[in-house]
Amino acid sequence: MNILVCVKQVPGTNQVEVDPETGVLKRDNVESKLNPYDLFALEMAFQLAAETDGAVKTLSMGPPQARAALEETLWMGASEGVLLSDRKFGGADVVATAAALELGARQMMPFDVIFCGKQTTDGDTAQVGPELAERLGIEHAANVAEIVKVEDGALTVVVDLDDAKQTLRIKTPCLLTVEKDANVPRLPSYKRKKAMTEDQIRVLSCADLPDADESKLGLKGSLTRVEKIFPPEKNELNERISGTPQDAASRLYALLRGRKLV
Amino acid sequence: MYNKVTAEDVKILREMIASDRVLEPGKFSVDYARDELGSITHMPEVLVRAMSTAEVAFVMRYANEHKIPVVVRGAGTGLVGGSVALYGGIMLELVGMNKILELDEDNLTVTVQPGVRLMELSAFVEKRGYFYPPDPGEKSASIGGNISTNAGGMRAVKYGVTRDFVRALTVVLPTGEVVQFGGKVVKNSTGYAMKDLMIGSEGTLGVITEAILKVLPLPRVSVSLLVPFPSMEAAIETVPVLVRGKTALTAIEFMERETILFAEEFLGKKFPDSKAPAYLLLTADGNDRAVVDAELGRVADLCIECGAIDALIVDTDERKQPVWSARGAFLEGIKASTTEMDECDVVVPRNRVADFVRYTHEVAAQLGVRIPSFGHAGDGNLHVYICRDDLPQHKWESVLAEAFRLLYDRAREMNGLVSGEHGIGYAKKRYMEETYGETQLRVMRGIKAAFDPNNILNPGKIV
């Protein structure tokens, strides 16, 4: 199968701080990394590629330094990557991001499956994947935990709906967003890093995309505007467990179980 | 030779401490009869939960006057029976003394009570941009216990062990007198190294009630390589090449596939790669990612020249978590894989690690017993586990004794020592005696008598 994985470069720490006065993300001295959710999408893609004798390509949109995120996908096992990088793409919301990714994906056709992470750690919308599928006119499923069957022209997948699991048969080409912890992502390989060549990553600007309509891209093409960014209210839950040892133990077990700690 | 704890003793202790912190058997868990390995058990006659140096001093003075043995207990994670009350008496539990008292940024020290857990200490200093490097696998151990065993851990290759990070100790002597050994000073040529005598004394010389520890600025970057090898030999023979190659690594850990699979089973979580027979886990830290990457690139090249299959990059929080959580669960994983086990925490010169690991395989084959191991290849400290599996009791005892004899004899031949970081306690006394001989033991006994003339503090341990 030909597989495409969309990835994003995000701030390198899981504890991104928002300046409470200006409402701006504190990005100073914060290194960047591959969106952690994308790692599960990549791993599922590599496993599917191995099973079907296929290949994995990757696609990202971002500033020039986002090339590093694509390089990492190559160290993990992708064969080539495309970075959409242009000031005209900047400031994009969900719709404008999906519009740019659609143009990029069309440059990389054909593919049978597109994988995306469930969401990103900075934007957190979980909408770009499904929006991209809509634009490409292909079927999609979000929160995929597992691919259970591969057929010619279709996949059977298990979708995690938090309180239920749903098994779906989905026609290819399709787009799947992958649930967190769906697998244990492989680590980047130093040997692949050393063997990587410059031409494995192509950087495309707006001018390189034949059907690009600038009014649909970047800030111009965004239907939403960010009015304010503020840190979420801190809410530290503290439960005191009392009662008989049996009751307290049952309550503690239920709590740990609920959080999937046991 | 010792007096039993009487109802009168309990009454006095309750009056002087607090009635709800002086507990008689039946009022506290049988876990207080053992440590984590559990092969030696004995219940104390009374449990005292001390909350201050003054309380500890009172208990020691009282016990010394009445010839009642006292054993100090921290988090109970020891592995050599060090905190087992072999002669009953008073168990003095210090986990309630768990406050971090001060971070002195002018002197780069942190002052703690002994019951602070290692994970709490590292989280506290790291949040403030500092670093307490000693990193034993058991993060829930108390810092008092770490000091008492001179715990080492994974970063010893670059930073050293607990001893290298203790500036001063407040100690209650067995007589009840309170002294401070060392100070907030970097240099110290003032008399005998009393602080260093306390470190690693396993609660036999005095009770540590406060510690001033050294901290460093926190390195901004720490990246690891998980390096798969086609065989145990290839992995471990790479270690001297890395040492000779003047690499600046903070950790050089060795692990075999079997151990990783046990940890996976125990945690119910997969390790990122478990296909190869053996692995080295290598870490470098610093303040500049490019510099750290360049160093690790050189390290990866050396490994590949030595036959490594690849070098896998462990750089972000989400990549580190599964690797280090599995590494932290090796002991528990092996423990869960068998019915009973005992361990050998031997330390040999680093260039003999490969020979020693190979020898553990020979012993396993010779005695028909499973002996998984893992360890700190970069500092020569190995954790070797003899697993009982389905051996009947009498056979297990003889196999275990023979395995220990063979392993400690070989370590001695290699100029190694009995314990790298777990201590001697009760379980390893015999092997230490064989290694050190009568002269050294005589000196050690003399030291013990100078501190504890009535031999009431943790009797039956070390000497």
Which residue among B269, B289, B313 sits closest to A190, beta carbon to beta carbon?
B313
Residues B60 and B117 in one domain: no
- B462 within some domain: no
- Predicted confidence band of residue A15 (pLDDT cuts 50, 70, 90): low
Query: The domain that contains B260 carries what CATH number?
Result: 3.30.70.3450
- Tell which residue, B69, B76, B110, has the closest CA to residue B94: B76
Minimal C-alpha gap between B315 and chain A (Å):
9
Quote the CA–CA distance of A197 and A192 in Å, as a whole number.
10
Give the position of tokens 């111009």: A220
- Burial classification of residue B257, based on how many CB atoms lie within 10 Å of its CB (0-12 exposed, 13-18 middle, 19 or more buried): middle
Residue where a domain stops, chosen among B159, B192, B217: B217
Instruction: Report DSSP state, residue B356.
Output: H
Q: Parallel, antiparallel, or unpaired for β B22-23 and B46-49?
A: antiparallel
Q: Is the pLDDT of residue B458 over 60?
A: yes
- B63 within some domain: yes
Minimal C-alpha gap between B270 and chain A (Å):
6
Q: Is the pLDDT of residue A165 over 60?
A: yes
Interface size A-B, in CB pairs within 8 Å, comes to 51
Please check whether residue A179 is in contact with residue A126, taking contact to mean a CB–CB distance below 8 angstroms: no
Question: What percent of the residues of chain B are helix, what percent strand, and what percent coil, each to the nearest 5?
Answer: 40, 20, 40
Who's near B2: CB < 8 A, 6+ residues apart?
Answer: B67, B68, B69, B87, B88, B89, B456, B459
Q: What is the pLDDT of residues A60-84, one digit of tens each?
A: 999 999 999 999 999 999 999 999 9
- Predicted confidence band of residue B220 (pLDDT cuts 50, 70, 90): very high
Task: State the sign of the Cα–Cα–Cα–Cα dihedral B163, B166, B167, B171.
Answer: negative
Query: The domain that contains B135 carries what CATH number?
Result: 3.30.465.10
Interface test with B, best of A38, A190, A196, A260 (most B CBs within 10 A): A190
Quote the CA–CA distance of A17 and A10 in Å, as a whole number.
13
Q: Is the pLDDT of residue A28 over 60?
A: no
Q: Which of A40-54, B170-184, B211-225, B331-345 has the lowest mean pLDDT?
A: B331-345
- Burial classification of residue B96, based on how many CB atoms lie within 10 Å of its CB (0-12 exposed, 13-18 middle, 19 or more buried): middle
Instruction: Report DSSP state, residue A62.
Output: S
Q: What is the pLDDT of residue B98?
A: 97
Give the position of tokens 């303040």: B287
Please check whether residue B342 is in contact with residue B279, taking contact to mean a CB–CB distance below 8 angstroms: no
Q: What is the pLDDT of residues B52-90, one digit of tens each?
A: 999 999 999 999 999 999 999 999 999 999 999 999 999
- Tell which residue, A150, A183, A143, has the closest CA to residue A165: A143
* CA A194 to each of CA A72, A189, A252, B296, B297: distance values in angstroms, whole numbers, following the listed order: 12, 9, 49, 13, 9
Q: What is the pLDDT of residue A228?
A: 77
- B381 within some domain: yes
Minimal C-alpha gap between B325 and chain A (Å):
13
- B447 within some domain: no
- B415 within some domain: yes
Q: What is the pLDDT of residue B39?
A: 79
Q: Is the pLDDT of residue B342 over 70?
A: yes
Please check whether residue B176 is in contact with residue B64, taking contact to mean a CB–CB distance below 8 angstroms: yes
Residues B110 and B201 in one domain: yes
Compute the average pLDDT of residues A142-164: 95
Measure CA of the first residue to CA of the last residue in chain A; give whole Å: 37
Q: In residues, how long is chain A?
A: 262
- Residue A37 structural domain: 2-235
Q: What is the pLDDT of residue B48?
A: 98
CB contact under 8 A, A187 and B272: yes
Total number of domains constituting chain A: 1
CB of B226 within 8 Å of a chain A CB? The answer is: yes
Quote the CA–CA distance of A105 and A114 in Å, as a whole number.
9
Residues B110 and B210 in one domain: yes
Q: What is the pLDDT of residue A198?
A: 92
Quote the CA–CA distance of B15 and B27 in Å, as a whole number.
18
Structure tokens at B221: 């970057």
- A262 within some domain: no
- B89 within some domain: yes
Quote the CA–CA distance of A38 and B99 in Å, as a whole number.
41
In chain B, residues with a C-beta closer than 8 Å to the C-beta of A186 are 272-273, 312
Which residue among A12, A13, A187 sits closest to B312, beta carbon to beta carbon?
A187
Q: What is the pLDDT of residue A211?
A: 83
Which residue among B312, B315, B322 sits closest to A189, beta carbon to beta carbon?
B312
Quote the CA–CA distance of A81 and A62 in Å, as a whole number.
13
Q: Is the pLDDT of residue A20 over 80?
A: no
Residues B48 and B138 in one domain: no
Please check whether residue B375 is in contact with residue B330, taking contact to mean a CB–CB distance below 8 angstroms: no
Q: What is the pLDDT of residues B100-115, one digit of tens each?
A: 999 999 999 999 999 9
CB contact under 8 A, B316 and A34: yes
Query: The domain that contains A82 carries what CATH number?
Result: 3.40.50.620
Quote the CA–CA distance of B342 and B383 in Å, as a whole number.
10
- Tell which residue, B253, B208, B250, B204, has the closest CA to residue B83: B204
Residue A83: strand, helix, or coil: strand
CB contact under 8 A, A186 and B271: no
- A256 within some domain: no
Torsions phi, psi for B439 (to 5 deg) = -60, -50
Compute the average pLDDT of residues B341-359: 92
- Residue B82 structural domain: 7-93
In chain A, residues with a C-beta closer than 8 Å to the C-beta of B318 are 14, 36, 39, 185
| Residue scoring higher pLDDT (A20 or A227) | A227
Instruction: Report DSSP state, residue B238.
Output: H
Interface test with A, best of B305, B319, B321, B324 (most A CBs within 10 A): B319
- CA B261 to chain CA centroid, Å, is 23
Query: The domain that contains B76 carries what CATH number?
Result: 3.30.43.10
Q: Which of A18-22, A71-75, B172-176, B272-276 has the lowest mean pLDDT?
A: A18-22
Which residue among B310, B315, B319 sits closest to A191, beta carbon to beta carbon?
B310
Compute the average pLDDT of residues A41-52: 97
Residue where a domain stops, chosen among B34, B61, B93: B93
Q: What is the pLDDT of residue A22?
A: 61
CB of B267 within 8 Å of a chain A CB? The answer is: no
Q: What residues are paired with B178 via a beta bridge?
A: B172
Query: The domain that contains B422 carries what CATH number?
Result: 3.30.70.2740
Nearest C-alpha in A relative to B220: A29
- CA B204 to chain CA centroid, Å, is 16
- Predicted confidence band of residue B212 (pLDDT cuts 50, 70, 90): very high
ipTM, 2 dp: 0.85
Residues B374 and B422 in one domain: yes
Residues B188 and B255 in one domain: no
Residues B298 and B356 in one domain: no
Total number of domains constituting chain B: 4
- Tell which residue, A235, A6, A222, A253, has the closest CA to residue A105: A6
Structure tokens at B349: 């010169």
CB contact under 8 A, B311 and A14: no
Q: Parallel, antiparallel, or unpaired for β B109-112 and B100-104?
A: antiparallel
Which residue among B270, B273, B289 sits closest to A187, beta carbon to beta carbon?
B273
Minimal C-alpha gap between B426 and chain A (Å):
34
Q: What is the pLDDT of residue B328?
A: 84
- Predicted confidence band of residue A26 (pLDDT cuts 50, 70, 90): low
Q: What residues are paired with B23 via a beta bridge?
A: B47
Work out the angle between the directed axes of helices A128-136 and A94-107 (0-180°, nearest 10). 50
Nearest C-alpha in A relative to B289: A31
